[in-house]
């Protein structure tokens, strides 16, 4: 298929764009590069396959879809920092929801038939101690989750109105790097636990903050379900190939296994052979205590089984990329 990947210069977007291109799809990356990396897009799909533009620039986006004769969109372009969304909700509503609505309008005008949307388990909010299945009520506790859920509603409405095949993939904590070491995780600022823990090991003077040590969990730290980025990329490709016109579906992507912050710190120490300098810090507003996927639709709908998402493999691939690229994509 001829596919446009919005946000394809970002972390998960670049991994997915590379997999799609390697699988024979004709891929164009559309990204404003405000938080992505030109180098990541070039490594993923080759030079000359990046259209630089903003989703809110509908003329530019219309031109990109038309020039590429796009048949499908894989949509990653969004802001994704929970704390930032709490401090600046207007930024998130304008970019995440406004950008998605602009994209859907352009898709309808250009008759693009399918979309796979990068959603999040944050749409469920704080579900308590239960593993999260797709059928659970939605109750996001931060603006980031609210904007993703609102975008899902927009996708469902456009699927009904325009016959678009739409899939929202609600994934849990993306982590790891390409097993071959070509692509990795490089955010500025970095907010994810595993790269922050690796940086605390790699760079002297860094100290990992543990946000809350009094949560109602066995060791007092938050629990998350870590999913390898290569497995997430595979799921997006599968969602694209199984998309059905006029049908909206929302599917969790998780392993069903949770790891606490302390367990991640211990794994980073085991993989690197060095202790992780860390210190307790206050809880962050908008942080749920436990987010772990229950048995869901990914296997049934997509035939998806994660292959790289055990915690050791996640940390090992992330460490391999960080050691080779201590300056991120600037050293790639």
- Per residue in 37-95, pLDDT (tens digit) is 999 999 999 999 999 999 999 999 999 999 999 999 999 999 999 889 999 999 999 99
**Catalytic option among 11, 79, 124, 144:** 144
Q: Helices marked H in 56-189 — which ranges?
A: 58-68, 82-87, 89-92, 99-110, 143-162
Written as six digits, the tokens of 81 are 């920092």
Among residues of the chain, what percentage have pLDDT more than 90? 88
Written as six digits, the tokens of 35 are 């938080």
Beta bridge partners of 253: 171
Report the CATH superfamily, name and number, of domain 2-174+227-253: NAD(P)-binding Rossmann-like Domain (3.40.50.720)
What does the DSSP 8-state code read for residue 2?
A: E
What does the DSSP 8-state code read for residue 131?
A: P
Q: What is the pLDDT of residue 295?
A: 66
Ranges of each domain in the chain: 2-174+227-253, 193-224+256-293+306-331
Q: Average pLDDT, stretch 7-34?
A: 98
Q: Is 144 a catalytic residue?
A: yes
Helices 143-162 and 99-110 meet at what angle, rounded to 10?
Answer: 20
**Alpha-carbon span 179 to 314, nearest angstrom:** 9
Q: What is the pLDDT of residue 332?
A: 62
CATH number of the 193-224+256-293+306-331 domain: 3.90.25.10
118 and 12 in contact (C-beta within 8 Å)? yes
Q: What is the CA radius of gyration of the chain?
A: 19
| 264: pLDDT strictly greater than 90 | yes
Label residue 330 by pLDDT band (50, 70, 90). confident
**Alpha-carbon span 258 to 323, nearest angstrom:** 26
| pLDDT tens per residue across span 224-241 | 999 999 999 999 999 999
Query: Strand, helix or coil at 209?
Result: strand
The torsion angle over the Cα atoms of residues 266, 269, 275 and 277, rounded to 10 degrees, is -70
Q: What is the pLDDT of residue 236?
A: 98
**Alpha-carbon span 280 to 219, nearest angstrom:** 13
Q: Helices marked H in the chain — which ranges?
A: 11-22, 38-45, 58-68, 82-87, 89-92, 99-110, 143-162, 193-202, 229-241, 261-272, 311-324
Q: What is the pLDDT of residue 260?
A: 97
Tell me the whole-structure pTM to 2 decimals: 0.95
Q: Which residues contact 190 (CB under 8 A, 6 or more apart)?
A: 196, 199
Q: Average pLDDT, stretch 127-140?
A: 87
Residue 284 — φ and ψ, nearest 5°? -90, 140
Burial class (CB within 10 angstroms; exposed 0-12, middle 13-18, buried 19+) of 129? exposed
The helix (run of H) or strand (run of E) holding residue 32 is none
Q: What is the pLDDT of residue 130?
A: 74
**Best CA proximity match to 166, nearest among 60, 240, 86, 237:** 240
């Amino acid at each position: 298929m001829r596919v446009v990947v919005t946000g394809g210069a970002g972390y998960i977007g670049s991994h997915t764009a590379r997999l799609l291109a390697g699988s024979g799809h004709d891929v164009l990356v559309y990204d404003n590069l405000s938080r992505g990396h030109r180098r990541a897009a070039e490594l993923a799909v080759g030079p000359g396959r990046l259209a630089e533009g903003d989703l809110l620039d509908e003329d530019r986006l219309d031109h990109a879809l038309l020039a590429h004769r796009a048949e499908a969109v894989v949509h990653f372009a969004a802001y994704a920092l929970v704390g930032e969304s709490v401090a600046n909700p207007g930024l998130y509503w304008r970019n995440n929801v406004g950008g998605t609505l602009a994209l859907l309008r352009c898709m309808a005008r250009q008759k693009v038939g399918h979309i796979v949307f990068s959603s999040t388990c944050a749409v469920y909010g704080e579900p308590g101690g239960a593993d999260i299945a797709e059928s659970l009520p939605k109750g996001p506790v931060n603006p980031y989750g609210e904007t993703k859920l609102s975008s899902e509603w927009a996708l469902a409405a456009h699927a009904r109105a325009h016959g678009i095949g739409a899939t929202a993939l609600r994934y849990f904590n993306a982590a790891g790097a390409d097993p071959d070491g070509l692509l990795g995780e490089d955010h500025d600022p970095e907010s994810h636990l595993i790269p922050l823990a690796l940086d605390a090991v790699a760079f002297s003077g860094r100290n990992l903050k543990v946000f809350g040590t009094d949560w109602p969990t066995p060791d007092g730290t938050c629990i998350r379900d870590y999913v390898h980025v290569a497995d997430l990329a595979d799921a997006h490709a599968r969602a694209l190939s199984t998309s059905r016109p006029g049908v909206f579906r929302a599917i969790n992507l998780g392993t069903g296994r949770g790891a606490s912050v302390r367990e991640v710190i211990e794994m980073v120490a085991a993989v690197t052979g060095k202790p992780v300098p860390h210190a307790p810090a206050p809880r962050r507003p908008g942080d749920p205590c436990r987010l772990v996927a229950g048995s869901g639709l990914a296997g049934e709908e997509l035939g998806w089984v994660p292959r790289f998402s055990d915690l050791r493999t996640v940390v090992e691939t992330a460490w391999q990329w960080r050691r080779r690229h201590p300056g991120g994509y600037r050293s790639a």
